[in-house]
Amino acid sequence: MAEPQDQLDSMFPLLSDAQLARLHAFGEPRQVQAGEILFELGDTSHGIFVVLSGSLEIIAVSSNAPGSEESVLRVASRGSFTGEINLLSGRRSLVRCRAREASSLLEIGRANLQRILQTDPTLGEIFLRAFLLRRVYLVAHSVGDALLIGSSHSADTLRLRAFLSRNGHPHTYVDVERDPDVQAILDQFDVRVTDIPVLICRGQLVLRNPSNAEAAECFGLNAGIDEGEVYDLIVVGAGPSGLAAAVYGASEGLNVLVIESNAPGGQAGSSSRIENYLGFPTGISGQDLAGRAFVQAEKFGAQIAVARTARALKCVKSPYTLELDDGAKVQARSIIVASGAQYRKLPLPNLAQFEGVGIYYGATQVEAQLCDDEEVVVVGGGNSAGQAAMFLSTYAKHVHLLVRGPGLSQTMSRYLISRIEACPEITLRPRTEIEALEGNGDLERIRWRSAEAAASETHPIRHLFLMTGACPNTTWLQGCLALDGKQFVKTGVELGEDWPLDGRAPYLLETSVPGVFAVGDVRAGSVKRVASAVGEGSMAVQFVHQVLAE
């Protein structure tokens, strides 16, 4: 785990004497003896420890074996502090911390830490930057409490890998086909190859093909939802629009709960590089953007529950009740619908059979690694397809970009078209459509036909990325909100006769139910872009304040 010194130094900055003095008002002094454990892997109850004298060891504990193995990641001396992103959300610790010698410390609890982040910009920045860098380090070095044993031929393995990485949860992945040590690990935990994917949680619990919700539960990714509480605002969906609403709502003092059925980031989270979002001239991956927004929302105190799906909205009277897929019910005086959209599927009879084992709807590092040095097909003429083709061309032997229309000029940004034209690893195939998918278990062959060709062609290609437009996630809203002909949510002046109040007109992003707003891709007539989704999420909070004041 050798890292350049300056990287380690930025992860463990030293606070000055003046900064240490400022922190005294927020913490409790604590004296510890050599060898004393400050917190264990999996603990949630501690705060951060600031070292006033002496030193602490930050220790990685391997979860690959029941008899745990230690390695010291860092010795923290005077001016250093412990902690990473898990402290903001109350998630479990991924490391152990032990006093190296008799030490004098200051312990700052979670509530006071949040106060510092919100009121002291200098210290807030030092803490947040260190926490973020430490989480990046833990993910990159798979330090933590998760071991996933799976196969690249299993759709559930891909689902779990994507779920953990999109939630920024470090994990070690062992592939039964590629890793020679796998049998020894399986024997240690008494599992069979036929049980995979298997998720080993904190070196103890063995979950056989768990759902995302079970994985989230095991790793403590969610703080409990208080069913007795009436929130000021519930946001459904943690894509760019929902995260923006959460950041603005929480930073303006609202009591905010976000419900997300998968992981923060939404569609943007499946993008390898967003280059047209303001302020990121060299581009940013959707996952990075979502990770930062997630931390920002938690910094201001928003509560975010992942792997929980809104099943129905009861909107007869305020406070409105949201029913979740596990039967839980939560109430709020205002709701922001930010449930976005999902990819349209091709009308091929055996499509579902190959989803996750050859067919993918996102192109991130996780999927790209599966295509190393192989040919791949990307279907779609929009920016998301163009980005995927460019990104995959750095991993795959060759990328075939299939579009139904005559070219890309009507549907894709000029900068992407130029790059695709200049990339020898990409072949654009206009007026071409997929006719059939073949394979025994995994996808093995793709048959396509172009308008110019006399006959169809079959290619031994095992990876197909579908990026063919999206339909809105609104089935959970049926019977409650007015939708347009394509099932997008109607808002503002579009509502016409669907608006129920005589006393006032609907606000800009308000739906047919007063106090319920819709933002981003789920909204009828919205511009399907990250910037507009973020803008709408932020704006809606302004109207929420007005409704709450009525």
Q: Which residues bind ligand FAD (CB under 6 A)?
A: 236-242, 259-262, 266-268, 270-271, 274, 276, 309-310, 338-341, 383-384, 387, 473, 476, 520-521, 528-531, 533
Q: Quick one: 270 or 512, whose CB is closer to ligand FAD?
A: 270
Q: Quick one: 136 or 268, whose CB is closer to ligand FAD?
A: 268
Q: In whole angstroms, what is the distance from residue 493 CA to residue 508 CA? A: 7
Give least dist CB 252 to ligand FAD, A. Answer: 19
Give least dist CB 523 to ligand FAD, A. Answer: 8
Structural contact between residues 96 and 32, judged by C-beta atoms closer than 8 angstroms: no
Q: How many residues are recorded in the chain?
A: 550
Give least dist CB 248 to ligand FAD, A. Answer: 14
Give least dist CB 220 to ligand FAD, A. Answer: 20
Structural contact between residues 332 and 319, judged by C-beta atoms closer than 8 angstroms: yes
Q: Is the dihedral of CA 289, 295, 300, 306 positive or negative?
A: positive
Which residue do the tokens 């409490």 mark?
A: 145
For residue 167, what are the CA distances in angstroms to 222, 225, 262, 317, 535? 11, 18, 9, 34, 23
Q: Quick one: 79 or 469, whose CB is closer to ligand FAD?
A: 469
Give least dist CB 521 to ligand FAD, A. Answer: 4
Q: In whole angstroms, what is the distance from residue 10 CA to residue 493 CA? A: 51
Q: Quick one: 269 or 506, whose CB is closer to ligand FAD?
A: 269
Q: In whole angstroms, what is the distance from residue 360 CA to residue 158 CA? A: 10
Q: In whole angstroms, what is the distance from residue 127 CA to residue 230 CA? A: 32
CB contact set of 440 (below 8 Å; sequence gap of 6+)? none
Q: Quick one: 103 or 167, whose CB is closer to ligand FAD?
A: 167
Give least dist CB 162 to ligand FAD, A. Answer: 12
Q: Quick one: 341 or 370, whose CB is closer to ligand FAD?
A: 341
Task: Give the DSSP per-residue string, 450-519.
Answer: ETT-SS-EEE----EEE---EEE--GGGTTTS-B-TTSPBP-GGGGGGG---SSSPPPTTB-SSTTEEE-
Q: Quick one: 71 or 369, whose CB is closer to ligand FAD?
A: 369
Give least dist CB 242 to ligand FAD, A. Answer: 5
